[in-house]
A = this chain, B = another copy of it.
Amino acid sequence: MPHAEPLLLELFAIFVWAKVFGEIFEQIGLPAVVGEILAGVVLGPYATKLVNPGTTTFSIAQLGAIFLLFTVGLETSPRELIRVGAASLRISLAGVLAPFVLGFAYLRLVRGDPTHEAIFVAAAMVATSVGIAARVMGDLRVLHTRVASIILAAAVVDDILGMIVLAVVAGLASSAGVQWVQLVVLLVEAVAFTVFMVFFGSKVIHRMRPGVERMSTQNAPLILALALCLGLSVAAERIGMAAIIGAFFAGLSFAEYSDEWRLAPRVSAITEFFAPFFFFTMGSRLDLRVFEPKVIVACVVVTVLALIGKVVACGLPVLREGWLSALKVGVGMTPRGEVALIVALVGLQMKMMSQAAYAIVIFMTAATTLIAPPVLRYLFKRDKPEAAT
């Protein structure tokens, strides 16, 4: 395999650098993902030029995004989702609308960006990352509290809403101009896909269960889950949505059997391998030359709007439980993650987004992910002595 060497070397370098930056970030108490993205920025073609991800690495990065969302789906119980769904839906909907409207208004009206670009950046401001908040609250051992379960449920609903927004935005952008009929068709399609997968995905797997357990193939459930993950990713793209949406719903369908079939630890091992390529590649595409004063201002404004939008819109519905709880829920919903990055990626690939807009999204994602954990930690710690006294 001598001519494959450049690829292997590239994969090795990306994997190790992403993990080294991630470890350094963890050591100083910051989220590892931001370190992995920064590794891509620092080592990528726009800065030190040490690693220049090629097309194959890029494909592997896309598999990373698919497996990231597959894992999130696998850890989301559809039954639990239906139970808390109605309550969380209010928080999520408000938290999706507010940043989108704020972001779009600022970019389109204040900055005068093209409509499609403003829509993409605004769409990236929508989805909360389940992982970051869960990690912080897990470290603080407060995952069992009411506030934590509100945050987690709302963040998951948020992910779904974010993907619906992405589906609609990507569908819109690929056609010439905004067509209302198409918008409605896409929205209906996305909602129908979501409702079907949330309510029936699990039941389909339940039906297939006896067959799966009779199969002779070793690890048949894992194989079936992987096949469905790839299959629904393809299907999602076919109907004009992003592949990750299919992957998320594939995970969701298997969530109820995740323990029984020991899927979660094994799928997350696959994600452990693929994910660093995704985060590194996202960072490596950030052209540092775009950071002129006007773009830096936009980065900061969009980040502030992304923060305010979530804190206010998600906190308000919880206000009757006290301002501290409201603030915790609001802050817990601020970190953006994979979905924001993927929106930016789709936008860049469809040439709907300039390098500057891409930079704004990466900045906003990294900043919200960095700001939320310490604030959340402070709020929960502030709470503890009160609870003790």
Instruction: Give the dominant DSSP class at A's interface.
Output: helix
A149 to chain B, nearest CB (A): 22
- CB pair A243 B8 closer than 8 Å: yes
Q: Are A1 and B269 in contact (CB under 8 A)?
A: no
A223: B residues at CB distance < 8 A: 19, 272
Instruction: Tell me whether B26 and A217 are in contact (CB under 8 A).
Output: yes
What is the CA–CA distance of A19 and B219 in the complex, to the nearest angstrom? Answer: 11
Mark the stretch among A102-110, A293-301, A343-351 that contacts chain B.
Answer: A343-351
Cα(A154)–Cα(B140), bound, Å = 51
Interface residues as binary, A22-57 with B (CB distance below 8 Å gives 1, 0 otherwise): 110011000010000000000000000000000110
Q: Select one of B55, B227, B345 contacting A15, CB under 8 A.
A: B227
Q: Return the contact of A22 from the options B3, B16, B217, B230 (Cβ within 8 A).
A: B217
Residue A11 lies at the interface, judged by CB distance under 8 Å to chain B: yes
Tell whether A273 is near chain B: CB-to-CB under 8 Å.
yes
**Residue in B3, B32, B62, B215 whose CB lies within 8 Å of A349:** B3
Q: Is the CB of B349 within 8 A of A217?
A: no
Taking the full assembly, how many copies of this chain does it contain? 2
Q: Is A93 engaged at the interface, CB distance under 8 Å to the other chain?
A: no
- A window 45-95: CB within 8 A of B: 55-56, 59-60, 62, 65-66
Q: Please tell me if A9 contacts chain B, counting CB pairs below 8 Å.
A: yes
**A383 CB within 8 Å of chain B:** no
Interface check A164, CB cutoff 8 A: no
The verdict on A265 contacting chain B, using a C-beta distance below 8 Å, is yes
A2's partner among B4, B32, B227, B349 (CB-CB below 8 A) is B349
CA distance A342 to B2 in the complex (A): 12
Is the Cβ of B222 less than 8 Å from the Cβ of A27?
Answer: no
- A234 near B: Cβ within 8 Å? yes
Which interface residue of A4, A9, A19 has the most chain B CB atoms within 10 A? A4
Contact indicator A234/B23 (Cβ below 8 Å): no
A217 touches B8 (CB 8 A): no
A202 within 8 A of B: no
- Known contacts A12-B227, A56-B55, A227-B15; A219/B272 CB under 8 A: yes
| A223 vs B273: C-alpha distance when bound (angstroms) | 8
Asked if A186 CB lies within 8 Å of chain B CBs, one says: no
Near B by CB (< 8 A), chain A positions 214-232 give 215-219, 222-223, 226-227, 230-231
Q: Indicate whether A216 sits within 8 Å of B27 (C-beta atoms), given known contacts A230-B15, A234-B8.
A: yes
Contacts of A142 in B (CB 8 A): none
Q: From known contacts A26-B217, A266-B266, A272-B223, infer whether A234 and B5 are also in contact, taking CB-CB under 8 Å.
A: yes
> Contacts of A270 on B, CB cut-off 8 Å?
269-270, 273
Instruction: Determine whether A185 belongs to the interface, using a CB cutoff of 8 Å to chain B.
Output: no
Residues of B within 8 A of A265 (CB): 262, 265-266, 269
| Interchain Cβ contacts under 8 Å between A and B, 8 examples | A1-B342, A2-B350, A4-B243, A5-B234, A12-B231, A16-B230, A219-B269, A265-B266
* Shortest Cβ-Cβ A-B pairs, 6 listed: A266-B269, A26-B216, A12-B230, A56-B59, A5-B237, A23-B217
List the interface of chain A (C-beta within 8 A of B). 1-5, 7-9, 11-12, 15-16, 19, 22-23, 26-27, 32, 55-56, 59-60, 62, 65-66, 170, 174, 215-219, 222-223, 226-227, 230-231, 233-234, 237-238, 242-243, 262, 265-270, 272-273, 342, 345-346, 349-350
Contacts beyond the supplied A1-B62, A12-B230, A23-B216: 19 A-B pairs with Cβ under 8 Å: A1-B237, A2-B237, A2-B349, A4-B62, A4-B237, A5-B243, A8-B233, A8-B243, A16-B231, A19-B227, A26-B216, A27-B216, A55-B56, A56-B56, A222-B272, A265-B266, A265-B269, A266-B266, A266-B269
